[in-house]
Copies of this chain bind each other. A is one copy, B any other.
Amino acid sequence: MPSSPHTETHFEASATVRDVVIGMSDGLTVPFALAAGLTGTMTATSKLVVIAGLAEIAAGSIAMGLGGYLAARTDRDHYQSERQREIRETVELPEKETEEVADVFRAYGMAENDLRPVVKAICADQKRWVDFMMRFELGFEEPDPKRARNSAVTIALSYILGGMVPLSSYMLVDSLQTALKVSVVVTLAALFVFGYVKGHLTGITPLRGGLQTVIIGGLASAAAFGLARWIS
């Protein structure tokens, strides 16, 4: 069980998995709850529910996808600006930065005599020095440059895919009340499968993961349904 390669793979995969989870958990939940909510109003028709649902999926997938794009871009910009600051500090305040490297090791209880050669080795090369400060003092990982675009596309597609699950029954079934029932059954089942797989991937009990997403979807839909019926 080699730990480092395992970890690398784990982090690579988890960026995409996290994006799918972000997009799909909202995509399965919000259009489902909105559609269910609208059937609680007096004037609703299947067509209206489908229009509102598709408008929500368009808005949600664009908002979340572009939001993910900007979040990744902001992370990268933030990493670059902190890195520039560290580079500047190694030039302008080398003694202070050298002591900060030493502080990292002091926190692990190392004796002054033992840590001096380590600190000297790290600070001998500016790139290595800055790399060390970024990772060990500030806790930054260097972001993947392709991350922003991949993140946006993954989140948006997952949202659309998730959103079509609850909406498809309103497209296929004429009676609004029947469509609602089909949508509830199909979507709660999909939420359970999604939560089960997500639980499996993130290391929590799959059954618990499945129940969690079902409860979130159920609560959101019940709140939307109750609110819509109460107002109309």
Residues in A lying within 8 Å of B, measured CB to CB = 3-4, 7, 11, 25-26, 29-30, 32-34, 37-38, 40-41, 43, 47-48, 50-52, 54-56, 58-60, 62-64, 66-67, 70, 74, 77-78, 81, 89, 96, 100, 103, 105, 108-111, 114-115, 117-118, 121-122, 124-125, 128, 131-132, 135-139, 141, 202-204, 212, 215-217, 219-221, 223-225, 227-228, 231-232
Contact = CB atoms under 8 A, between A and B. Distances in A.
A4 B97 CA distance: 11
A138 B7 contact: yes
Q: Which DSSP category, helix, strand, loop or mixed, fits chain A's interface?
A: helix
Contacts of A7: 137-138
A194 B135 CA distance: 31
A30 B59 contact: yes
A194 to B, nearest CB: 12
Given A3-B137, A50-B231, A62-B220, 12 more contacts: A3-B89, A3-B100, A4-B103, A30-B56, A30-B63, A33-B58, A37-B52, A58-B227, A59-B223, A66-B215, A77-B203, A108-B122
Given A59-B223, A89-B3, A105-B118, A204 B25 contact: no
B224 A58 contact: yes
Contact of A121 (B48, B74, B109, B135): B109
Given A3-B137, A216-B70, A223 B54 contact: no
Contact of A37 (B59, B105, B203, B231): B59
